[in-house]
Amino acid sequence: MIRLCVLALLAVVLSDAQDPGVTTFRSDARLVLRAVKVRDGQGRAVEGLEARDFAVTENGEVQRVAVCEYERIGDTGGGTEIAAGGEKTGAPRATRRMLVLYFDLSGIGRQFLGRALTAAGSFVQGAISSSDAVSVMANVRGSLRVIQDFTSDQGLLLAALGNLARPADELADDESGFTFGANNGEFNVFATDRRLAALQSAARLLERTRERKALIYFAGGWELGQGRNLAEMRALVNAARRANVEIHPIDTRGLAVETPMGDASVASPGGETMYSGAAVTALAESFEQSQDALYSLAADTGGKAWLNNNDLKAGIEQAQRLYASYYLIGYYSTHTEPDGGLRRIAIHVPGRERLKLEYSEGYYGDKVFERMTAADRERQLEDAFALENPITEIPLAAATNYFQLNPDEYYVPVVVNIAGAELMTGRKPGGGRAQLDLIGEIMDSNGRTVKTLRDHVTVKLDAGGREKLAVGLVEYDTGYTLLPGEYTMKFLVRDSETGRIGTLIRRFTIPNLNKLGPMRSSSVVLGGKRTRMGEAIYSAGRDKRQATNPLVEDGRKLVPSVTRVFDGHSSMVMYVEVYRPEAAAPAPVTAYLGLYRGGTKVFESAPAEFPAREGARLKTARIELDVPLAAVVAGRYECQVSLIDRRSGRTWFWRAPVWVAR
């Protein structure tokens, strides 16, 4: 959607510029453009249609077609003109096929990047023509980099692809090209949201040209399920629809076959699942889930995913073939209310029902938040919270965990991270504090609201507070008591000074541990050193929900790390609970933690024993390891937690990526 603002100024100058006779007229018209492919029953493109042949409705209301251009791929010369009445006249307009080769360097393993670059290079050398305009973009550590603007010059494109073969550090430091999006930092290391934000930046950049664009997205697998901010995905899809961008993901892993015991380069993890088939099933499910986001991106934007195929060049050519001639249909929407609601578009050709039309069927309207009086601020926040098209001006990330309190209930601590540098954006210099307004809710699988949150956070902005805020995070934590089940959490933060808003939507599951085996556990929490309650750069309202928080002991709190980035000069704390209510006299649990890189163990803590707490109904063993990181080299690791029941010999393992920084 493109907004056209027309300003007409009629002035009667009498004595000076302040004359009250000056009259200003403003018109805010919203031109909505859609690329529409029209085919007959045999799949052939249909030409010769004009504006009067199309019928368009938005939310059921008839819209007048103001733009109708037939964009014929590969033609030369000729052009279309828009008549004074707004309808298309003249011959079909020649246009070029606009393709974007987009490389997600944060999600492609180095072993697969070479394959992707080779396929792209082969495509550039043998498949593009003068009808193609190709651009090269990349996500470099959470930021969008335009390596090469649209061109048909094979030499320039091959040079851009060769540039991407350089190490990530060199690309991040390279000042050539253009950079958009967030910078690198703790908030971006593991956040899938930064991939989505970089893609969203690309869509907004491509909105400058109204033609249809195909973005060929080279990526590894990544999931948008548990623990991810679904608001970012929704905002990306809406941005792509507005910009007439179709995303065609290509899984650079190709047709992958993984064995549960690993290949000859790594040691087998062991365990009975290696031989029961459970490990094979888990691997297959994990691989399929890692492609869910790629499939969703294609389906929601009109593209087509290329998965489980080693011929990556064929995936690029598929997107090229799907880029056929099309009509560019535009109308000035009669729905001008800035309510952020969904606008459903329906386009058809009356009297020719056999024609097949392909187009994006909807978009979300704008939401304008202007400065309001104090009395209106509460209503503004509630309106933003209810939007179908979430506002994602401030990046947010969250973590949820669960701990069994009794046979029926679980305590769920919630931690929300707000990027401190983002809070500095748009803020006036000076000032001793910043006020954040927070609103949230948790809904069950039936869509019923079971928990709500309303709070205010005051962030210190003295000299020390500003320094911490610029390079760190604001960690807001709370907690709820819930029953087992599937839930959706929606969380919104507003900076009361700048008016910037961030929205987080994520799903999480609380399992019914009563249905599991004799040795069952809570989720595993990784955090920094315990801190005293209230030791933070912010202060929040009193939260009585913290009273039953297992992460609080003797007035000191363990705050889970959302990013799992740890200071190499300090310690990493691991906490987990083991429940064995059926055991008459549970034996101690032995626990230790290891760090792995490339399949090789580089660190292991000394084993420690933890007995069950006396009198505890669930025979709970509270296990906490404080692991110094001084001897660990900075970098990314796989963290493995191992638990052993000393009496039965049963073992339990958990793994997750962590980053040690200095």
129-174 pLDDT, tens digit each = 888 999 999 988 778 899 999 999 999 999 999 999 887 666 655 6
> Burial level of 409, CB count in 10 A (0-12/13-18/19+)?
middle
Distance CA 647, CA 625 (A): 21
591-639 pLDDT, tens digit each = 999 999 878 899 999 999 999 887 678 889 999 999 999 999 988 899 9
User: The tokens of 12 are what?
Assistant: 């009667």
**If pLDDT is split at 50, 70 and 90, which confidence band does 3 have?**
very low
Nearest to 413 by CA among 270, 517, 557: 557
Q: Quick count: other Cβ atoms within 10 Å of Cβ 8?
A: 9
**What is residue 35's three-state secondary structure?**
strand
**If pLDDT is split at 50, 70 and 90, which confidence band does 373 have?**
low
| pTM of structure | 0.65
C-alpha angle with apex 505: 219 to 360, nearest 5 degrees? 60
Q: Quick count: other Cβ atoms within 10 Å of Cβ 274?
A: 16
Eight-class DSSP state of 650: -
Pair 56, 331: CB distance under 8 Å: yes
**CATH architecture observed for domain 97-223+232-260+276-322:** 3-Layer(aba) Sandwich (3.40)
Pair 605, 621: CB distance under 8 Å: no
Q: What DSSP line would sit under 334-401, residue for residue?
A: S----B--EEEEEEE-TT-TTSEEE---EEEPPB------HHHHHHHHHHHHT-SS---SS-EEEEE-
**If pLDDT is split at 50, 70 and 90, which confidence band does 418 have?**
confident
| β-bridge pairing 403-404 and 396-400 | unpaired
Distance CA 168, CA 138 (A): 11
Pair 597, 221: CB distance under 8 Å: no
Mean pLDDT of 272-286: 56
User: The tokens of 365 are what?
Assistant: 């309207």
> Which H or E element spans position 498?
none
Contacts of 131 (CB under 8 A, 6+ apart): 73, 74, 96, 97
Predicted confidence (pLDDT) at residue 347 exceeds the cutoff of 90: yes
Predicted confidence (pLDDT) at residue 89 exceeds the cutoff of 50: no
> Which H or E element spans position 297?
helix 292-301
C-alpha angle with apex 142: 124 to 217, nearest 5 degrees? 30
Mean pLDDT of 67-81: 63
Mean pLDDT estimate for the chain:
78
One-letter amino acid identity for 448? R
User: The tokens of 4 are what?
Assistant: 């056209």
Predicted confidence (pLDDT) at residue 540 exceeds the cutoff of 70: no
Distance CA 102, CA 478 (A): 39
Distance CA 570, CA 659 (A): 13
Domain boundaries, the chain: 31-94+326-364, 97-223+232-260+276-322, 375-512
For residue 121, the model assigns a pLDDT of 95
**If pLDDT is split at 50, 70 and 90, which confidence band does 81 have?**
very low
Calculate Rg over the CA atoms of the chain.
28
Query: What fold is seen in the domain 375-512?
Result: Immunoglobulin-like (2.60.40)
Predicted confidence (pLDDT) at residue 80 exceeds the cutoff of 90: no
Predicted confidence (pLDDT) at residue 9 exceeds the cutoff of 80: no
Give the CA distances from residue 488 to residues 289, 397, 448, in Å, rounded to whole numbers and listed in that order: 19, 14, 10
Give the CA distances from residue 511 to residues 253, 340, 382, 508, 523, in Å, rounded to whole numbers and listed in that order: 32, 35, 31, 10, 10
Pair 461, 420: CB distance under 8 Å: no
Instruction: Determine the number of helices (DSSP H) and then strands (DSSP E) in the chain.
Output: 12, 40
Predicted confidence (pLDDT) at residue 236 exceeds the cutoff of 90: no
Pair 424, 475: CB distance under 8 Å: no
Predicted confidence (pLDDT) at residue 215 exceeds the cutoff of 90: yes
460-503 pLDDT, tens digit each = 776 666 666 766 678 888 889 999 999 999 999 888 777 788 88
User: HSE-up of 394 (CA within 13 Å, CB side)?
Assistant: 30
Q: Quick count: other Cβ atoms within 10 Å of Cβ 75?
A: 17
**What is residue 139's three-state secondary structure?**
strand
